Amino acid sequence: MMDYCEDASLFSGKRQGRVAVVKFKEGLLKNLTRLDAKDRLFRFLDQVEADPKVRVVLIFGAPRRMDQEACQRFYRQFATGQANLGDLDRLNNAVNQFVLKMVQFRKMVIHGGRGVVAPVFFNMGFACDWRIAGDDTVFQNPCVEMGLLPKGGGIFFFERLMGRGATAELLYSGRDICAGEALSLGLVNRVVPADQLETGAFRVAEEFSRKNPAAIRGIKRLLNYPVQELSDFLAYEDEVMRNSLLTALSDRNRIAS
């Protein structure tokens, strides 16, 4: 049974029984900077959070997302002065809001994704409580090679999941992570055949929707206890990223002169 739905440029959303399904569309980074698009997403999430019939939120990444090359072109605009850093600030603020919204959401949130995943989308998925990936998933990790910093709280979540040493090895190496390795590292909870991602993820969501909601909510609150630390980390992450891009821009101008 589907009781209500939303179809916007940034996402589509609908309630199916005790599960609310949100599917992001292409152009997530661009659309997140649009106030109207972001507001529609957060209004829908608020509606879902207030709905006593909904127990689980299932979020799917866009079927086609920015790959490493497109992501590099996007961020290079800021490092070369082709784009205003104010736009980057708006994007970072939107990502921060989404990450904190998911962590503080009063219901369980499951994230499903497949294919090539750029760091910012991988990191945003960590804000969810449970992650399922298609077996064709490749989590790209090009930040060192591209001269960029991972946005979305990824380092915060990595360190909590894997420890400081494993996190440092992964980030400094810049190597990509396949679905199987992500599962072994505890970065995702389940891997399924890519063509079964949606049905598999919905089955998991329905399983969780039958569990005691008060117990699920309590476990989530305890697991996410250091939420203020995350908020501070995201703000510091923005500062470091902005300074890094300003340094790159200054170096570029100095060489050009």
Torsion region of 147: left, alpha or beta (phi above 0 gives left; psi -120 to 50 gives alpha) = left
DSSP 105: -
Judge whether residue 2 has pLDDT over 60: no
Least confident span in 24-38, 62-76, 79-93, 201-215: 62-76
Is pLDDT of 67 > 70?
Answer: no
Residue 77 pLDDT exceeds 70: yes
User: Quick one: which of 109, 148, 139, 97 has its CA closest to 121?
Assistant: 139
pTM greater than 0.85 (yes/no): yes
Q: What angle do CA 123, 11, 78 make, to 5 degrees?
A: 50
Please state the rounded mean pLDDT for residues 57-84: 75
Q: Would you say residue 16 has pLDDT above 90?
A: yes
Predicted confidence at residue 256, as pLDDT, reads 63
Decide if 152 contacts 99 (C-beta within 8 A): yes
The answer to whether residue 41 scores a pLDDT higher than 80 is yes
Looking at the domain covering 2-256, what would its CATH class be?
Answer: alpha beta
Question: Over the range 34-45, which residues count as b (16 or more CB within 10 Å of their CB) and which as e?
Answer: eeebbebbeebb
Domain boundaries, the chain: 2-256
Summarised one tens digit per residue, pLDDT across range 188-237 is 999 999 999 999 999 999 999 999 999 999 999 999 888 889 999 999 99
Q: Report the Cα 51 to chain-centroid distance in Å.
A: 23
In this predicted model, what pLDDT tens digit does every residue of 147-170 receive, in sequence order? 777 789 999 999 999 999 999 998
Residue 213 and residue 55 in contact, taking contact as beta carbons nearer than 8 Å:
yes
Q: Is the pLDDT of residue 18 over 90?
A: yes
